[in-house]
Structures are given as C-alpha cells and as structure tokens.
Structure 1
Amino acid sequence: MLLAVEEAPPAGGAALDQVLIAFAAFAAIYIPLGIFLLRERDGKPTVIGRLADRVSAVDGLPRWAGLPSYLALVSLISCAFGVYWDVPIHMQNGRDEGPLANPSHFPIMFGIFFFLAAGVISAGLAKDPLPRRTVRLTPKWRVPMGTLVLLGAGMIAAAGFPADDVWHRLFGQDVTEWGPTHVMMIGGAVTCILAVPLLLAEAAQVGRPAARRWTWIGGLATGGLRLFGRILPPVRREAPEAVLTDRAAWSTRLFMTIVIGICIIPVGFLMEFDLGVPQFPAATMFIISGFLTAWIFTAGRLFFGPGGALVTWLTYLGVRVLIYAITLPVPDIHRAHWLLFLGPALCIELLALVVRNRGPVFAAVGGLLAGGAGLATEWWWMDVFMPYPLPPDAQQMPLMLTVGAIAGAGGGLLGWSFARHLERIADLPEASAPLREGMAVTGRWAGTAGTLAFIVLMAVFAPPGSAGEVEVVKDCAGDECRTTYQPVEGTGVIMGQVSYDDDCIGTDGCLTRVTVRTDADKVEDAVWISALAYQGRHRTSGDVPGDGMLSVAMEATGREGEYRSAEPLPIYGNWKVLIRLHLAPTTMVSIPVHMPADTAIDGPASGLVQVDDGTDAAFVHEPFMLQRERKPDVPVWLWTTMYGVVIASWLVLLAFYGWLYAAAAGASGVPARSEKAPAS
C-alpha cells in the first residue's frame, strides 16, 4: 500500500519538460505556417496555396473556403477520437503521470492546433474574389467572416492548454469535463464547426456554391421531395417545382443542411452522461439536449424545407456512429453511448405539416415540443441503451421535460435565426417562401433571446447543490492516515448507515454487496440512488471487475429507506467507491465508502477513506469526492476571479460569433467584394 501511495501521479501542474515539449510541437506547426502566411500575402507560390487550388478545382469552392473547411473537419475528428479515448482512461485508471504520458492527449492537442491552423490558412488564402462583407486586418488584407469563427474558436481552445496547467497549479486537478479550462478546449473545438456553414454560404456569394459538382445529390433530393409531396400535399406548397428542378441549388442546400447537422456536435458536453459518470444535475442533460436539438433540427427544417429536420437528425446519428467507430481500435476502454433524438426531429417535422407560418413563433413552438414531447421519448431509449444511472426516476421526468422544453424554445429561436442568416448570406431562395416572416427587428434578436434563455437555465441548474456542511478530518496512527467526513451540527446533513454482505473491506479482492439505510423522507424524491466504483484498473494486475469502472443501481430492499447494490462492489486497493444520491433539482451528494490514500493531494482529503461495517456516514457534497484532487483553502476571491475570466471570455466569443453571422447576413444584396475594391 505504501509503495502505491509513493508512486501516485502528481495532482498539480505538468512537469516543466512536458510543457516545453508541448510548446515545441506548437512551434513546429506554427513557424512554417507563419512563413506560408508571409509568402502567400506577398503573392509568392506556396505548397499550401497550390494544394488549395487543386482542392478548389475539384469541389468548386474558393480556396479560402474549401481546404480550411476540410482541415477543420478532420481536426475535429482527431479531437473527438482523443477525447472519447481520454475520458474513459481517467475513469478506469485515474490521473496521468503527466500530460504527455497519456497517448490520448496527442490527437486532442494536434486536433486543436490544426483547426486553429485552418483559420490561419483561410486568412492567408483570402484573396479576390471575396464575399461582400469582410473584416479588414490590414489596409490590403481582408478576410471572410467564417475565417474569424475558425480563428476565434481555435484561439480559445489553444489557450486552454496552458490555462489548464495554470489551473492545476492553482487549484489542483479538475477531473470534470465541465471544468473551466476543459470547457475552453472542448468548447472551442465544438464551436469551430460554426465556421463551415458560414464559409460555404459566403462561397455561394462569389458564384461558387458548395457541392456544385455533386448534382446527383440534388437529383436524389428532387426525386425524394416529389414523392414526399405526393404523399403529403401540403408539402408541395413549400417546394415549388422551379426550385425542385434546379439540381445545383438543391445539392447546395442539401450539402449545407448536412453541415448544419454537424453543428450539433456540442452534444460532446454530455459525454459524462454518455459514459455513466455524470457529475452535474440530470436537468442539465435535458437543457443541453432540448436546446441543441431544437436549434439544429429547426434550422435544418427551415433551411432545407420538408424533411430537413430528418436530414439533420441523420447527420447527428452519423456523427455519433463515427465517434463510436473510431474508438473501436482502442482496446479495453468504456465506449460512450448516445441519446437518440429522433423524437425532437419528428416533433418539428410534424408541426411543420400543420402550421404554415415559418416565423419565430413557429420556431419557438417547435423547439418547445422538441424539448418537451420529443425528449419524453428518450426515457425508454435511456433505459434500453444508456448507461446507469440513466434514466432519471420517472417521477422526476415532469421537471426534466419542463426545463428541456424551455431550453428547446430558446433553441428553436436560435435555429430560426441561424437558418435565415445562412439563406441571406448565400443568396438562396427561401425553402419555405413565401410563408416565412422577414427578419425585421424580431429576427435580429430572436437568436440572442434564445441563447440567453439557455445560459440562464444552465446558470440555475448546473451548479450541484449541497445537502449540508461537512468537515474533512485527517487522523494518522503510525504509517496509516485516515480521512473522515464529519457532519456539522444543525446543517441538515443526510446520514446513512453502511453495511456489507461480506465484511472484507480493504482486503485484496474484496467484492461484496453494499447496503445503505437512511431517512426515507429525505430520499423519496431522488432522481437516482446509485453506486459508482471507478479507477480500479490503476496499477492492478489480473482480472479487474468492470475493467476498472462500475456503475450499478442501489435497489430498494423493501425496508423503509434501505437500498442494496444490485451487484457486488470492489472495495479494496485503488478502487474509489461512492454511494451516490441525486435529489431534485440540483443536490448531488455521496457517501465515500472506500478511497485509497493519496499523498499527491494537498490537505486532509489525502488519507485512506474506509467506512467500516455498521458505521454511520454522511452524504458529502459530491464534487468533494469526484474532484478529490482539488486543493483546499484556495481563497474565494481567486476562484471567483478565475471563473469570471473564463465565463466572460466565453460570453464575448459567443457574442462575436453572433455578430459575424448577423453582419454577413446584413450585407444581403450588396455585390460581392473584390480584394482591390476600396474599403467601406
């Protein structure tokens, strides 16, 4: 035991040599890229420029749109591969010896470096012809708006790497996906995709629409829509024959609708739910799901017309299957499952069949249905396909669907604005003309209002609530130090008595069912009561239960307030075992049954945690357990300041994205700009 403790991986920042290696990798990419940028702006030939020209000859897109878009998509696949490999490693093994000791970090790091590089390449290639609205970097250098989305997303994601190391040094390890610096990296990756539909729409302005050579796609769309029109007569009014017969226009619209569908990839923020270790309240899953599905499926329906929501849903499904498939070569890891989201897509399609107006009211109602009735269909899918502790208890579904519906209404408004902006930027005929309302003042603020509704919901429901105050105490006797969590009198702490079928806790190979008896009145409205055993594969040889991670139900025994684990739990060695209790709406607490000593952790939480048979234990604020490595006694002002900086930077970036889309759409009807044209 002592040997294992001495070899514990560091819980603070990375070693200096690993920081220097990461910096060298960055320099190896960006020094040549800087040379390319200088040569390209001087009008000298470059390898990247010649490659962009060859790609443009094939896909018909401007050189500043085609190659950078494809590079961004490939980089996102690299990031997805790394993230869905990395998180299971931490669930099963624990901390890394260092950032470069984990092979999954390399595809993440290079993916982020290269989608930032895609923005730099797009800026370097930005020459005549350019879209009608650009941003001037120098008197002779203007770049498309989509280029700035790539650069903004890439810069915040790349900044997340050094910021993550600084964060660990200040606050210790933050082992949640939604940690501030993790949100910077993952958020930058999942929002950089917003550059691609904008670049494609801008490309259409200069007479080179997306997929011009892929007219066979337009032919398939034409045939399918004609058939759909015969089956459902109201649809024909939304798809005039003059538009249907234009294969190039429909191939462009279908291609861009698929790209709109890819924009749903922020579902990556649900990864902890997908893997069975949610660290945030269940309501957040419904808020994120309602907002994203309403946004993307509404945008797809409005942009493409009949069947558009289903096109974007199929794209989403393809993205999830791809993520699953690319992790298959990695052996012995937990693979993420996913929510189906077919219900929200069908809700929007069905509403469009009976409601002719396509204004913001339609979008908000469609989103409301998608986030409410649509997500209600996910309950059975969670039960069949998603890992435990999903689905939430059925009696909590009204709350979950309510917040999902409100978020969906906001997402629908954003989807309406998103689709309308893309149509105006690309000069495409409206898919639902003449039924759609104009932009006017409502259109300019619909997307903003929807996004703000989502932000407010997350601010209310994301922070896990506590069930009372607990004091962390560390007592040492000889070579062994134990940590206990003692309730503070009068603070409403929930207590539970822990017992085992086989009292073998702490001995090698101990597997036993765990029983907890608590106050029935305090847990009767639980969203879930579950047991989690994780990080058991670290420095362990031979067969490991669950390959290092188990999430099992705590089943009612029939005695009031008593629950017993559905399967035996491993309570020995490096295993961390929690009895988890989630109370609506946001309280998340757990009893730490067993945690090994960890000398790399600062403070009293570093001792061995072991709840003996028949002992009363407190349900502790769960982030204290799942994020055990966080440093104690960090000043509140420092936490507040650092969180404020990250949140402010994200709000500014989101506002920047909105301005880029609105500005590009606001130039509708203005001739496309030549690079030599005078600045406006």
Structure 2
Amino acid sequence: MLVAQESSPPAGGAALGQIVIAGLMFFVIFLPLAVFVIRERAGRTTVVGKLADWSAGLSGLPRWAALPMFVAFLSGMAALIGVYWDVPIHMELGRDEGPLANPSHYPIYFGLMGIFASGVLSAALAKGKLPVRTFPIGPHWRAPMGSIQMMATGLVGIAGFPLDDVWHRLFGQDVTEWGPTHVLMIGGGVGVVIGLQLLLGEARQVGASGPVVRLLGPLLAGAWLMGASAFLMEFDLGVPQFPMLAQVVLVGLIGSWTLVYGRLAGGPGGALLVVAVVLVTRAVFAVLPLVNDLHVALLLPYAAEAVVIEVVTVLLRGRQGYAFAVVAGLASGVFGMFGEWAFSQWLMPNPWPLSHMDSFVLWGAAASVAGALIGVWQYQRVEAVAARRPSDPAPSGDPAVRFRTRHLGGLVGALLAVGLSAAVIPPADPPAGLVANIQLTDTGESLPISNPHGGGQPRWVTATVTINRADLVSDPVWLNGFSWQGGDFYSAPLERTAEGTYRTTQPLPVFGQWKTGIRVHYGSRVMAIAPIYAPADPAANAGEISATSGPRPFMSEIEFLQRERKTDTPLVLWTVAYVVVGLVFGGMWVLVAWLYTSAAGGAPSPARRVRVSS
C-alpha cells in the first residue's frame, strides 16, 4: 500500500507552464543576440562591436577572441556555480518540484546559454584578419574554427535541458550527476574551454601577443581541469553512484591531460598554475553551499601530479613529443596516485583504501598515460595553428607518415581513455543471496539536520549488521551506514566487531523523507545496498520500506538511490535513448578532433568575397 507522509514531488517531466517559461527565457537571451548578429554582419555599428574592439586593444587579442573569451568565462563560472550548488541540494532534499523550482538551475541554464552565445559572438565579430583556415557560415561570412567549437559544445549543453525533460518523462527522474542528459549539459558546458584553447591558437596566428596572451595558455588548461573535475563531484561529496575505480581513472585522465598541456603551454610552473586555477575557483564554488548550509564538495588537488610533471619536464630537457607524454603519464600515474591516496585520507568522505592501491596505481597510470598523450596532441595542434601562415606550402610526403607522427599518439590516448572508462564506470550488481541481517536499536542520540525536510516523527536507530558472505566484504572499498534526502546527508564507515559482523558508528534516521541503508562496495565494481528505511513515494510508484529488524537482501544501489526510475519502460526504448545520447556526446568529440586537425593542417580557406553595394 502506498501511503505518502507528505505530498511527494513529481517524478516525471516538467509541467507545461514551466516549459513555456523556460522557452521564454531562451528567447529573451537569443532575440537580442540575433539582432546583434544581423546588424554586425551588415556592417552596422553596434555597442557590442565597440566593446569587442575596446577589449581587443586592452588584451592584445583580436576582436573575435577577446570579448567572447570573457563572456565564455563568466558563463562557465555561472554554470559551474549552479552545478556545485545543485548537487548538494539533491543529496539533502531529493528531487525538485520542477526545473524552475530549484534556484540552482537558473545559473546553470543562463550559463549554458551564455556559453553558446559566446561562440555566436565570436563568429559574428569575425572581421578583419582571420586565420588561414576558417569555417564557411555564408557566402560572405567565415568564422574561426574555435568559434564553431564553442557554438557546438554550447549547443550540446543547452540541448541537455529539453532532452533531460524528455528523459524524465520516458524513464523517470535519475537523481545522479552522471545521468545521460546531465553528462550532456556538463560535458557540453565545460567543453567550451577546448574551443577557447583553439581560438587562442588562431588568435596567435593572426598576431596576438603580449602578457595576457602568454598567460592564457596555462590559465585555459586550468579552466579545463576546473570544468572537467565537476564530473567527480559525487565522489567529492561522498555519494558516488559509480565505482571508486572510475574516480581513479578520471583523476588520472583529466589530471595528466590538463597538467601536461599547462606545463607545455606555460613553461616552468605551468602545471602549478593549472592547480592554482582549480583551487581558487573551487573556493568560489563553495560560497553558495556554505551560505545555504549545504555540503561542500572538497577535491583531490592534483598537486602531486603537477609536481611530478614539472620534474619530468626538467629531467627530459624540454622534450614535448609522445615519448615525453608516456614518461610523464607513467610518473604521474604512479607517484601522483600515491599522492592522491594521501590527500584522500584527509579530504575525501570515502578515502582510498591502501589495500587496493596496487589496482588503483595500475588503472591510474594507464589513464594518466592516455591523458598525457591527448594533452600532447592538443598542444601540438594548437602550436601548429599558431605557427601557420598563408604562405606555408601544402603538406608533402607520405600521408601515413604524417598521421603516425602527428596524430597516432593522440588517437591511442583517446581510444585508451574510452576503453578504460567503459571498463570501470558501469557498476556491477551484487550476487544473488547476499543478505544482511540487521538488528535495529532505537537510540536517544541524533545528528544535526541542516535543512529539515519531510516531516515525520523523529526516530533514530543504531544497527548491528551481520553479512552472510563475510568473505566478499572482508576487504571492501567502503562499507558504510548511509542516509540522504531527509534534509541532510550522512555516511560513516561501519565498525567490525567479529567475522562478518559490524555495527554503525553514528545513529541513522528512519523517518520522514530519509532514505537509509547499508552501502557496500567491494571488488572493482560491485556496489550494493541493504535498505533499512524509505518512505512511500506514490509519484515514483515506490512503496514504504519499514525500519524493522531482520534479514535484508542487498540490491543494486541504483534501485534504491534512484527509486524514481521507471521499471516498466521497454528495453528497446532504453537502448535507443542511450545510443542517441552517446552519439551526440561522441559526435561532439569527433568534431573537436576535426576542427583542431583542420585548423592546424587543413587546406587554406578561399579568399573571402567582398560584398559590393549596388
């Protein structure tokens, strides 16, 4: 029987009224932008054009790079401020009443629109001296390749919003940062930085110089690390829904990618500057969660990897090729992973267990090599773009040799990154018959609740847990008492009292909107939970789980943590949806590779035709 303790928020798509309002917000931004583009391309004087010229003179960048970079920076910061505010809200309060009922969604939405708009601005301002290779938008309009990349990634991010609503209608809400459409929004949003890095190379090609231009290389690498690290937020907050090896691989991959690029682009100290950018911006992202008494996402600081890469670069005496990438990646993956292990004991809600470090170093080193190969490929392409001139002769020699020397290392890194991610990200279900016998004892102790939510008569319990397969959990990645979405979030390791028997180390709430259970993660990918309590949720068609003593079979974590997911959607629909989202996300990265390669070595664009007035 479904009995709600209070009205539960909708578990599907947004109400029609909220969709209309979101559409109006979109047009409020893009109608003025469209007017500007029409006037600018017609040769009319515009306020934005004057501002672009002023910022160009101030920065040493061309007009089509200076102002768009600033707009992209502000927009990206707004979106990430919203993301780092949004995830703790869902951890502590559950799902939203609707997309516009959550204040954190506004900076995300406007930030993503601003990211796309920055690419449009860059393309519209593309006049005067342009790069050798440009992208044709119209007969009298060609834009830098970086502008196209900025628009494309921004469009992917914006598309994530309506696709997210469609996803909720078809499959129910997925309360996880790594939901497919959430990945589109975050990936599309932070991917603008890769477009900015290409745009900077194109700006240097047409003569941009000066201290700002020199500093932008490592700063943009820091911005890329800042944005990509958002994918690790569930680990940073303590509620990861994917295996810890996924954290290890992502730390190795994005860390070595950005740190290698930053060191090569910025010279001595470049990798350390990348880390400084991340630490400063993460302090900014912590402000709103702190003000609203929400959990703050800490982070593994990448400091050990940065030092290792600085040292390797000195020892290899300035080598910048793929051999350097392999050495830097291996060194960062081995020594850097041990550095992050040490930091995790201090900073992470779920510290990396020392007993698993052999596996972590193996996977982390492989991911670090992949990231370093990609970082070197990207740096080489940007430098080739910056050095390109209209008078350069056409490429000569064997195309296979050119591919092997220029692109093979980057392709190997990309394929290795995809393979490693596919191997470690999907969690595995627990084996049938894994059961926890849980004995609950009411206690007068309680924990402070930051944002009381859901009502109910307060009840707190301690638990003694006996697991029937003690051999499986003898060396877990984590084994925690866990509660969330009742107004706060708690997770604490269990204390072992005998073989296969454990007890909680802090009281657990079993009332109101709390969802409480015993979480276990063992092996490389098995993640399971033995539920203790959850309220009835009619909107999600989920019944109450009463807090009583007795045997509780372990279930897949997603079944409990994402109770809103629909179970009656046909498998073929799930398959088609994942394929579509995967094609969009994968297509974005294919476009990145093509734009970089074309800008660096593609055939020069034909001379622009001049419009003659009659």
2:55 partner amino acid: V
Question: Shift in Å at residue 193 of structure 1?
Answer: 1.2
Pairing 1:41-190 to 2, within 5 Å after superposition? 41-190=41-190
CA contact (8 A) 1:128 1:675 kept: no
Matches of 1:641 and 1:598 in 2, distance apart?
Answer: 28
What corresponds to 1:648 in structure 2? Answer: 583
Matches of 1:440 and 1:102 in 2, distance apart?
Answer: 49
1:262 is the counterpart of 2:218: no
CA contact (8 A) 1:129 1:673 kept: no
Residues 567-587 of structure 1: CA deviation (Å, up to 9, x unaligned): 111111211102101012111
Residue 315 of structure 1 is aligned with which of 277, 284, 288?
277
Question: Shift in Å at residue 507 of structure 1?
Answer: 7.8
1:610 is the counterpart of 2:546: yes
1:299 is the counterpart of 2:235: no
Question: Shift in Å at residue 448 of structure 1?
Answer: 2.0
What corresponds to 2:299 in structure 1? Answer: 338
CA contact (8 A) 1:529 1:579 kept: yes
What corresponds to 1:666 in structure 2? Answer: 601
2:546 partner amino acid: Q
CA contact (8 A) 1:131 1:673 kept: no
What corresponds to 1:466 in structure 2? Answer: 429
1:202 is the counterpart of 2:202: yes
What corresponds to 2:348 in structure 1? Answer: 386
Matches of 2:435 and 2:503 in 1, distance apart?
Answer: 16
Residue 424 of structure 1 is aligned with which of 378, 384, 387?
384
Which segment drifts farther, 177-186 or 506-515?
506-515
Residues 609-648 of structure 1: CA deviation (Å, up to 9, x unaligned): 12412x0110100110111100012111111110011111
Matches of 1:646 and 1:567 in 2, distance apart?
Answer: 41
Matches of 1:185 and 1:283 in 2, distance apart?
Answer: 23
Residues 139-160 of structure 1: CA deviation (Å, up to 9, x unaligned): 2110001101111111111111
CA contact (8 A) 1:130 1:673 kept: no
Residues 303-331 of structure 1: CA deviation (Å, up to 9, x unaligned): 23332222222222223233224644x32
Matches of 1:32 and 1:126 in 2, distance apart?
Answer: 18
SS at match of 1:623: helix
Pairing 1:500-519 to 2, within 5 Å after superposition? 500-502=440-442, 508-518=457-467, 519=469
Pairing 1:161-560 to 2, within 5 Å after superposition? 161-209=161-209, 212=210, 214=211, 252-264=213-225, 265-325=227-287, 327-328=289-290, 330-356=291-317, 357-387=319-349, 390-427=350-387, 441-468=404-431, 492-502=432-442, 508-518=457-467, 519-537=469-487, 548-557=488-497, 559-560=498-499
Residues 78-108 of structure 1: CA deviation (Å, up to 9, x unaligned): 0111111111111111111111111111111
Matches of 1:619 and 1:599 in 2, distance apart?
Answer: 23
1:361 partner amino acid: A
SS at match of 2:407: helix
Question: Shift in Å at residue 667 of structure 1?
Answer: 5.5
1:522 partner amino acid: L
Matches of 1:203 and 1:359 in 2, distance apart?
Answer: 24
2:430 partner amino acid: A
Matches of 1:637 and 1:345 in 2, distance apart?
Answer: 45
Matches of 1:449 and 1:637 in 2, distance apart?
Answer: 32
Residue 564 of structure 2 is aligned with which of 629, 639, 643?
629
Question: Closer, same or farther in 2 for the Cα pair 1:607/1:185, shift >3 Å?
Answer: same
1:83 partner amino acid: V
SS at match of 1:101: coil
Matches of 1:100 and 1:308 in 2, distance apart?
Answer: 41
Matches of 1:319 and 1:89 in 2, distance apart?
Answer: 20
SS at match of 1:513: strand
Question: Shift in Å at residue 15 of structure 1?
Answer: 0.2
Pairing 1:563-582 to 2, within 5 Å after superposition? 563-582=502-521
Unaligned 5+ segments in structure 2 are 389-400, 447-454
Matches of 1:577 and 1:427 in 2, distance apart?
Answer: 59
Q: TM-score, normalised on structure 2?
A: 0.92
Residues 112-169 of structure 1: CA deviation (Å, up to 9, x unaligned): 1111111111111111211111011112110001101111111111111110000000
1:589 is the counterpart of 2:528: yes
Question: Shift in Å at residue 503 of structure 1?
Answer: 7.6
SS at match of 2:34: helix
What corresponds to 1:487 in structure 2? Answer: none
Matches of 1:566 and 1:673 in 2, distance apart?
Answer: 70
Matches of 2:548 and 2:2 in 1, distance apart?
Answer: 21
Matches of 1:617 and 1:595 in 2, distance apart?
Answer: 13
Question: Shift in Å at residue 673 of structure 1?
Answer: 8.2
1:24 is the counterpart of 2:24: yes
Matches of 2:109 and 2:213 in 1, distance apart?
Answer: 33
Give the 4+ runs in structure 1 shifted more than 6 A: 503-507
Question: Shift in Å at residue 515 of structure 1?
Answer: 1.7
SS at match of 2:486: coil
What corresponds to 2:394 in structure 1? Answer: none
Matches of 1:7 and 1:51 in 2, distance apart?
Answer: 51
1:509 partner amino acid: P
SS at match of 2:539: coil
How high is the sequence identity, in percent, across the aligned residues? 42
Question: Shift in Å at residue 517 of structure 1?
Answer: 0.6
Unaligned 5+ segments in structure 1 are 215-250, 429-437, 469-491, 538-547
Q: Could you say what the CA RMSD is over the residues aligned between the two structures, in angstroms? A: 2.3
CA contact (8 A) 1:130 1:674 kept: no
What corresponds to 1:543 in structure 2? Answer: none
CA contact (8 A) 2:510 2:547 kept: no
Matches of 1:426 and 1:327 in 2, distance apart?
Answer: 41
Question: Shift in Å at residue 461 of structure 1?
Answer: 1.0
CA contact (8 A) 1:580 1:589 kept: yes
CA contact (8 A) 1:130 1:675 kept: no
Residues 209-234 of structure 1: CA deviation (Å, up to 9, x unaligned): 3xx2x4xxxxxxxxxxxxxxxxxxxx
Residues 558-613 of structure 1: CA deviation (Å, up to 9, x unaligned): x11111111111111211102101012111000110000011013xxx11112412
CA contact (8 A) 1:494 1:522 kept: no
Residues 185-238 of structure 1: CA deviation (Å, up to 9, x unaligned): 1111111111212112211111123xx2x4xxxxxxxxxxxxxxxxxxxxxxxx
